[in-house]
A and B are shown apart, each in its own frame.
Chain A
Amino acid sequence: KAGVTQTPRYLIKTRGQQVTLSCSPISGHRSVSWYQQTPGQGLQFLFEYFSETQRNKGNFPGRFSGRQFSNSRSEMNVSTLELGDSALYLCASMVGGTDTQYFGPGTRLTVL
């Protein structure tokens, strides 16, 4: 079974731009979560989607948004990028309930 895939793997943007990251979960997994990883703040939860509905959201500003499609693929969007948004963005999928999350390789976003 293929693992979680994330595209693109690397991205360079400038301040003020917006960006969209994509995540394809493991086949049969209906939950997708997003995490931000930075050297200063570590791993922080952004949001989780299940069957196209956001079930939980972390403590991030409204510039960070996401959605999930009927095939369980998910996208996250960051608008009006700031330097501090430079991070590794990790996507994880799980079957559905409180279960094991399996991670993709991440998207490395650099904001200049």
Chain B
Amino acid sequence: AQSVTQPDIHITVSEGASLELRCNYSYGATPYLFWYVQSPGQGLQLLLKYFSGDTLVQGIKGFEAEFKRSQSSFNLRKPSVHWSDAAEYFCAVGDYNYQLIWGAGTKLIIKP
């Protein structure tokens, strides 16, 4: 069965430090992969996506992610976080039945 694992429920990072959020997936075919961000009480905003091609994808707000097929991973990175990046981040796989399969989310806390 398809699944997405985000092993870190919470991550605390100092403002200005680098960030990496982990995502592992289990999917039989070539996956469509997404990262979304959710601020408290809000909907989900798309950060970036991978469909095919270059395995390093750039997104909005200075985020990037790298698809590694051999490790079934799609980790999200940012070189320097800002206080406004505090939110919950979700990794998702899009399957061929038009649904997104979600990870449990990682809550990012920024230390001043």
User: Residue A58 at the B interface, CB < 8 A?
Assistant: yes
Most interface-central of B32, B44, B96, B102 (chain A CB within 10 A): B44
| Distance between Cα atoms of A2 and B65 in the complex (Å) | 27
* Alpha-carbon separation in the docked complex, A29 to B104 (Å): 27
A105 in contact with B99 (CB, 8 Å): no
Residue A11 CB within 8 A of the other chain: no
How many A residues have CB within 8 A of the partner chain? 24
Cα–Cα distance between A104 and B45 once the two chains are bound (Å): 9
CB distance from B73 to the nearest CB of A (A): 20
> Are A42 and B96 in touch, CB under 8 angstroms?
no
Q: Which of B34, B45, B97, B105 contacts A42 (CB 8 A)?
A: B105
Q: Once the chains are docked, how many angstroms separate the CA of A4 from the CA of B45? A: 11
**Contact yes or no, B43 A103, CB < 8 A:** yes
CB-based contact A45/B43 at 8 Å: no
Q: In whole angstroms, how far apart are the Cα atoms of A104 and B36 in the complex?
A: 13
Write out, one digit per residue, whether chain A residues 58-80 have a CB within 8 A of any chain B CB (1) or not (0): 10000000000000000000000
A81-112, CB under 8 A of B: which get 1 and which 0? Answer: 00000000010100000101111111010000
Smallest CB-CB separation from A91: which chain B residue? B43
| Residues of chain A lying within 8 A (CB to CB) of residue B94 | 98, 101
A56 touches B43 (CB 8 A): no
Contact A56 B42 (CB under 8 A): no
Residue numbers in A under 8 Å from B34 (CB-CB): 100
Give min CB distance, B107 to chain A, whole Å: 11
- Hey, which chain B residues are within 8 Å of A101, CB to CB? 46, 94, 100
Docked pose: A90 CA to B102 CA in angstroms: 13
